[in-house]
A and B are shown apart, each in its own frame.
Chain A
């Protein structure tokens, strides 16, 4: 066995060592994810636990949320390439608390992103107890009404490939996602589909991953009007110093469930 280890002649370690040089210049990426086609009408979810508290307003399936003019919400875009350091501005948020609330028996926000070093705060603003089960973080706190649970996120927890599912086993319709990353280079598109990633190292080819809960990896898009395939949701780009506008990114309707 050791022979096997020793005899290996190609050391492809380079990739695992973060690139050493620190970027002198930074660029900001903006864009908008758009559902290409007619968006399906969100289904209403079955609500049958704690009806007086939870089922006052109907719950809808949030897996595909499209705004009036087609903007696709909750698309995650994160930097896959390892970077040596991040822009000094990010130091301000490096030990922030990042919230996810159990609100009206829904996770708010539906998708949240947290960076290693930050503290995840799961709170409960309802008048009933919830549990928030994230197996991949090894947590499942039972949170009393008006209570909260806090945990600092470690580097080790921040290595997931895809966002982690958050569920409440008491209220089975509840579902949310947590993106846990080693660096702050990610964005989650807002209700209009817009996203911004600030101060990305410029000048070097980087690879981003694009993910949405319904299809998983976003593989088929139209970028600047051109049909483009992103294997495993991967998009390569070299960021220019300053503004980098991607414009509308049309996500093919066929990839959605």
Chain B
């Protein structure tokens, strides 16, 4: 098997960027990076982190040698095609697709931290939480294969996420879809292992390493989220007969700007230029922002905290000595406890001191998310009316863009209806109104000025 050596065209070498093997020469094999922000969130000690890394290696293998347990529900052959260094064999079978096409943005681990990532806006997706934006399933659910395929084919217009329709053939796209799921599942399992380590284990207890625990207890429930996606589709009723009519657009418009109804103007602005809220984070950036603030504070106060630990210890020992009610034996025991507590505090501070700077280097400067400028006619999740309906129905997962909960007031329903009839009427009115809003949103790029006093010269302004 002869390796084809891929000359990367646009690697941007960042100081401290995660060992990304380039596939030529003797580059070291790349590794999956640990999710240090999550380790910090759950206060996972170094020893416990090692246990988690071992568990992950057992379940998922390495970037060059992925392991695909059958309980993951993933297709091993597809993963093999997408994983590893980029090369073609004599028969022309091309493998290592992820590293060739995706890793420089999304990172080897799928953490959205490839070498190019820092220069992009929005940042490439971090798959590890399992939060995806543009899909046909309910907000909290995983996307279907078809959703991911669409994203890979058409890209995400208005962002740097490319369309791979031309570059890749169907089996390659399928392999990459599977690999995105593999990385995402691995990330979700990592978070779950950290959570269980923190929440379930007793003091000094180690993470169980039995297949029963790792596969049945941890992997399967996470894998289930992916394999059940097809059953979590958003309900969609057909658009009403007057869809596309001026009346429908007008109805949508009045809902859009009504603060007591759809209230879209609050974020998208009184002129729908996307400038209602300009200093808000999506969840990924919010987590990073909070982590950085906390880590900075911890690092700045290390010396003080160490001093405090010593001081607390000295005070407590003094109090022990002065407590005449204690027997010699009790005093000795309590002193030992105090010593243990102090040692534990100092050990923890030492680990924070070593881990936090690295963890920070694995984050990108947090950036605000901007509500979409709806006059541009660029729809990241697709431009079909159905796509826009999905966005309005469930919002955009991981972002401030909310899901419409209710557009029908109780007072609008005739009082003489039964509860069941009321629920039905409410549902059908709500669906109709969501389609009205879709109508208005899709008409916005063509609306001159807009009633609400938009400055026409601003309408072409690039935003977000």
State the A residues within 8 Å of B (CB): 1-2, 4-6, 8, 10-13, 15-16, 49-50, 80, 127-129, 131, 133, 135, 137-149, 156, 159-161, 169-170, 172, 227, 229, 231-232, 254
- CB-based contact B206/A159 at 8 Å: no
Q: Are B140 and A137 in contact (CB under 8 A)?
A: yes
- Asked if B316 lies at the interface with its beta carbon under 8 angstroms from chain A, I say yes
Question: Which listed residue, A1, A11, A148, A161, touches B210 by the CB 8 Å rule?
Answer: A11
B256: min CB distance to chain A, Å: 11
A-side contacts of B405, CB under 8 Å: 141-144, 147-149
Instruction: List which B387-422 residues lie within 8 A (CB) of chain A.
Output: 395, 397-398, 400-407, 409
Which A residue sits closest to B213, measured CB to CB?
A13
- B36 near A: Cβ within 8 Å? no
Q: Please, how many angstroms separate the alpha-carbon atoms of A13 and B205 in the complex?
A: 11
21 contacts between A and B (CB under 8 A): A12-B205, A12-B213, A15-B205, A80-B199, A127-B260, A135-B283, A138-B138, A141-B403, A142-B402, A144-B261, A144-B405, A145-B261, A156-B221, A161-B195, A169-B402, A170-B266, A227-B312, A227-B316, A231-B203, A231-B344, A232-B43
Q: Is the CB of B217 within 8 A of A147?
A: no
- Check A144/B262 contact, CB under 8 A, given A11-B212, A159-B195: yes
Q: Is the CB of A161 within 8 A of B61?
A: no
Which B residues between 201 and 232 are near A, CB-CB below 8 angstroms?
Answer: 201-203, 205-206, 208-215, 217, 221
Beyond contacts A11-B210, A12-B206, A131-B402: 15 other A-B pairs, Cβ-Cβ < 8 A, are A1-B69, A4-B209, A13-B212, A127-B260, A129-B266, A139-B403, A142-B262, A144-B262, A147-B409, A148-B405, A149-B405, A160-B195, A169-B400, A227-B312, A231-B344
The residue that A131 contacts in the complex, of B199, B308, B400, with Cβ under 8 A, is B400
Quick one: given A1-B58, A5-B215, A135-B283, are A144 and B406 in contact (CB under 8 Å)?
yes
With a CB–CB cut-off of 8 A, which chain A residues contact B58?
1, 4-5
Q: Write out the residue numbers on chain B whose beta carbons fall within 8 Å of the beta carbon of A16.
A: 200, 208, 213, 217
CB distance from B299 to the nearest CB of A (A): 16
- CB-defined contacts of A229 to chain B, threshold 8 Å: 341
Please tell me if B165 contacts chain A, counting CB pairs below 8 Å.
no
Does any Cβ of A come within 8 Å of B277's Cβ?
Answer: yes
**B395 with A144: CB separation less than 8 A:** no
The verdict on B198 contacting chain A, using a C-beta distance below 8 Å, is yes
Interface size band for B: 35 or more
A145 to B397, CA, bound (A): 23
Q: Inside 8 A of B193's CB, which chain A residues have their CB?
A: none
Evaluate contact between A159 and B199: CB separation under 8 angstroms.
Answer: yes
- Minimum CB–CB distance from A26 to chain B (whole Å) comes to 23
* B195, A140: Cβ atoms closer than 8 Å: no
Residues of chain A contacted by B401 (CB below 8 angstroms): 140
Q: Select from chain A the residue with minimum beta-carbon distance to B397.
A: A138
Bound together, the chains give a CA A129 to CA B260 distance in angstroms of 5
User: In the complex, A141 Cα to B266 Cα: how many Å?
Assistant: 14
Residues of B near A133 (CB, < 8 A) are 400, 402
Q: Is the CB of B139 within 8 A of A139?
A: yes
Known: A131-B402, A146-B409. A1 touches B67 (CB 8 A): yes
Taking the closest CB of chain B, its distance from the CB of A210, in whole angstroms, is: 15
Q: Are A5 and B209 in contact (CB under 8 A)?
A: yes
Across the interface, which residues of B come within 8 angstroms of A127, CB to CB? Answer: 260
Q: How far is the CA of A170 from the CA of B265 in the complex (A)?
A: 10
Q: A149-B406, A156-B221 are in contact. Are A169 and B398 (CB under 8 A)?
A: no
Within 8 A of A (CB), among B359-410: 395, 397-398, 400-407, 409
- Using a CB-CB cutoff of 8 Å, which residues 231-267 of chain B contact chain A? 259-263, 266-267
Which residues of B approach A to under 8 Å, CB–CB? 42-43, 54, 57-59, 61, 67, 69, 131, 138-141, 195, 198-203, 205-206, 208-215, 217, 221, 259-263, 266-267, 277, 279-280, 283, 308, 312, 316, 319, 341, 344, 395, 397-398, 400-407, 409
Closest to A146 in B: B409
Is B395 a contact partner of A142 (Cβ separation < 8 A)?
yes
| List of A residues within 8 angstroms of B202 by Cβ | 15
Cα A138 to Cα B133 with chains together (Å)? 12
- Residues of A within 8 Å of B263, CB to CB, are 128-129, 142, 144, 170
Residues of chain A within 8 A of B341, CB atoms compared: 229, 231
Instruction: Give CA–CA (A34, B456) in the complex, Å.
Output: 59
Nearest 10 A/B pairs, CB to CB = A138-B140, A129-B263, A141-B405, A169-B400, A142-B402, A8-B209, A131-B402, A145-B260, A147-B406, A149-B405
A138 to B400, CA, bound (A): 12
Q: Which one of A10, A149, A254 lies within 8 Å of B208 (CB-CB)?
A: A10
Contact B42 A1 (CB under 8 A): no
- Complex Cα distance, B406 from A1, in Å, reads 50
Chain A residue nearest in CB terms to B312: A227
- The closest CB in chain B to the CB of A6 belongs to B211
User: Nearest CB to that of B276 among chain A residues?
Assistant: A170
* Bound CA span A93–B43, Å: 34
- In the complex, what residues of B have CB within 8 A of residue A161's CB? 42, 195, 198-199
- Taken together as a complex, chains A and B put the C-alpha atoms of A131 and B395 apart, in Å, by 11
Asked if B214 contacts A5 (CB within 8 A), the reply is yes
User: Could you tell me the distance between the alpha carbons of A231 and B309 in the complex, rounded to whole angstroms?
Assistant: 13
Knowing A147-B405, A148-B405 are in contact, say whether A50-B262 is a contact too (CB < 8 A): no
| Cα separation A16 to B397 with both chains bound (whole Å) | 32
Instruction: Tell me how far the C-beta of B45 lies from the nearest C-beta in chain A, rounded to whole angstroms.
Output: 11
Nearest chain A CB to B44's CB is how many angstroms away? 11
For residue A62, give the distance in angstroms from its CB to the closest CB of chain B.
Answer: 18
State A161–B44 Cα separation when bound (angstroms): 13
Which residues of B sit under 8 angstroms from A140, Cβ to Cβ?
139, 395, 400-403
Contacts of B397 in A (CB 8 A): 138
Query: Chain B residues near A137 (CB, 8 Å)?
Result: 140
B280:A172 contact, CB within 8 angstroms: yes
Closest chain B CB from A188 CB (angstroms): 19
Residues of chain B within 8 A (CB-CB) of A15 are 200-202, 205
Please give, as numbers and ranges, the residues of chain A lying within 8 Å of B215 by CB-CB distance: 5
Assembled-state Cα–Cα distance A240/B195 (Å): 30
A5 touches B259 (CB 8 A): no
Most buried by B among A49, A137, A147: A147
Cβ of B403 and Cβ of A142 under 8 Å apart?
Answer: yes
- Most chain A beta-carbon neighbours within 10 Å: one of B139, B205, B308: B139
Q: How far is the CA of A1 from the CA of B66 in the complex (A)?
A: 10
CA distance A1 to B136 in the complex (A): 36
Q: Which residues of B contact A4 (CB under 8 A)?
A: 54, 57-58, 209
